[in-house]
Amino acid sequence: MCDTFDLIVVGGGPGGYVAALRASQLGMSVALVESTHFGGVCLNWGCIPTKALLRSSEIHHLLHELGTFGLSADNISFDLSKIVGRSRSIARRMGGGIAHLLKKTKVTTFDGRAKLAGRSGEAHQVAITKDGAAVATIKAPHVILATGARGRQLPGLETDGTLIWGAREAMTPKELPKRLLVIGSGAIGIEFASFYRNMGSEVTIAEVADRILIAEDPEISAAARKAFEKQGMKIITSAKVGPLNKGENEVSTTIESPTGKVDLTVDRVICAVGIVGNVEDLGLEGTKVQVERTHIVTDGFCRTGEPGIYAIGDVAGAPWLAHKASHEGILCVEKIAGRSPQPLHPLNIPGCTYSRPQIASVGLSEEKAIAAGHKVKVGRFPFIANGKAVAMGETDGMVKTVFDATSGELLGAHMIGAEVTEMIQGYVITRTGELTEAELVETVFPHPTISETMHEATLAAFDGPLHI
């Protein structure tokens, strides 16, 4: 017997479980298939537990800066097992919350791996197995693939779980490495570098590109590098990392760059060199679903080349962000339900890096805006001129805005500093609502807040800032 649903969602990460919840809200009968934990990599091994780790490391850093605030403390120390334990317990708690929501909304869940198994009339059949044994075969006219992605493995830089870490090992260390090499300077690599440096590790970052945080505006990237190096990180760009030679409890390698060769010996290596989509063993053979560079090709409404098959989140390609996956899940389901959602505009998706200092952005960089043919007006405002930032002792930072000089459209916004990941949504709303500099200029920003830098950076692009 084959149970029939309106929708089958394969994968319970931030895209899949949100799609299932929204579909249930809209009155659909929904099946969600998940092979490990609800919440996916994001909740269990990414977004949430890393933020818990970073919070502990930020407090550790502040405890060593107490004199700045007229405070003192003796015998400052930490228990790494408790720091890691707190992170894991938060992940478990949030995962349990998702399970409760799915049950509350009457989503039928299956524990196992799903594979497309052909058609039955107008419906797609999905076979579910667990540890090689058949669990069930279900069918639905609509199937959303939300299988996520995993860390990329490069020849000579393969993780081994002991000396050469991927993300999972990096967030569950048994002891703090004194010397650490981080290969890759995207958000994942930078966040781990920030955590371990805050906790006292000697950190070296190797990046193959000519600058760190290549997805960010070059000016912000340069400011981030300056801040990280001020903290004591060693950063090598345009780097070629040689083979990783493993000893009993250390790793040695040679890093080549335009500045010369560096022979390096460290206790642990973290590889954060990109991700690949989980497209294997999904039964895509014989369908019209296209896969390019390990990611499923979709249109603006997450539809694949096969009618009734959709893909969302990391498996559907960049940007690899949990909030992008969740939004895709919602718009995909609403399109299936006959509503009229707007297709997702990639340039309206914010990017956030939760290092110290934080980095956040949306839209085009100045460089890309000019390359796209825009005549631009650019505004900048430093945190050091903001009263709240000075009072907090968080003066390292800036906000940069890029406007179209003719229309006043906000083309991009780029921020570095304390709490900018909480502030970027103001600029996201501006872009989503197709507002201009006029609305931003006329907006009343509360005082004293760091968000006032957003107002000043807008003024700076036009008539000039008030407080510098």
CATH of the domain at 385: 3.30.390.30
Residue-range definition of the domain harbouring residue 202: 164-273
Same domain membership, residue 188 and residue 121: no
Q: Where are the beta strands (DSSP E) in 319-467?
A: 351-353, 358-363, 376-382, 398-404, 410-417
Residue 2 has pLDDT above 80, yes or no: no
Same domain membership, residue 410 and residue 261: no
Same domain membership, residue 138 and residue 259: no
Task: Please report whether residue 55 resides in a domain.
Answer: yes
Q: Which residues are catalytic?
A: 447
Same domain membership, residue 230 and residue 126: no
Same domain membership, residue 96 and residue 13: yes
Interval 306-317 mean pLDDT? 97
At 232-273, the pLDDT tens digits run 999 999 999 999 999 999 999 999 999 999 999 999 999 999
Same domain membership, residue 395 and residue 409: yes
At 341-359, the pLDDT tens digits run 999 999 999 999 999 999 9
Structure token pair of residue 386: 């903001």
Task: Please report whether residue 159 resides in a domain.
Answer: no
Average pLDDT, the chain: 96
Residue 156 has pLDDT above 90, yes or no: no
Interval 184-202 mean pLDDT? 97
402 three-class SS = strand
CATH number at residue 329: 3.50.50.60
Residue 70 has pLDDT above 60, yes or no: yes
The annotation places the binding site for FAD at 51, 314
pTM given for the model: 0.95
The annotation places the binding site at 51, 184-191, 207, 274, 314
Interval 5-33 mean pLDDT? 97
Domain boundary at 273, 291, 311, which? 273
Task: Please report whether residue 231 resides in a domain.
Answer: yes
Same domain membership, residue 200 and residue 146: no
Task: Please report whether residue 352 resides in a domain.
Answer: no
Domain boundary at 346, 367, 400, which? 346
Same domain membership, residue 144 and residue 16: yes
At 211-235, the pLDDT tens digits run 999 999 999 999 999 999 999 999 9
Same domain membership, residue 291 and residue 268: no
- Band (pLDDT 50/70/90 cuts) for residue 137 is very high
Task: Please report whether residue 156 resides in a domain.
Answer: no
Name residues whose C-beta falls within 8 Å of residue 12's C-beta, 6 or more positions apart in sequence. 20, 32, 33, 34, 37, 38, 39, 40, 98, 109, 146
Same domain membership, residue 293 and residue 238: no
Interval 288-300 mean pLDDT? 96
- Band (pLDDT 50/70/90 cuts) for residue 175 is very high
Task: Please report whether residue 457 resides in a domain.
Answer: yes
Task: Please report whether residue 157 resides in a domain.
Answer: no
Domain boundary at 293, 311, 346, which? 346
Domain count along the chain: 3
Torsion of CA 154, 160, 164, 166, to 10 degrees: 70
Same domain membership, residue 439 and residue 410: yes
Torsion of CA 218, 223, 224, 226, to 10 degrees: 130
- Band (pLDDT 50/70/90 cuts) for residue 315 is very high
- Band (pLDDT 50/70/90 cuts) for residue 286 is confident
Structure token pair of residue 327: 């939004």
Same domain membership, residue 266 and residue 296: no
At 367-425, the pLDDT tens digits run 999 999 999 999 999 999 999 999 999 999 999 999 999 999 999 999 999 999 999 99
Task: Please report whether residue 468 resides in a domain.
Answer: no
The annotation places the binding site for NAD(+) at 184-191, 207, 274
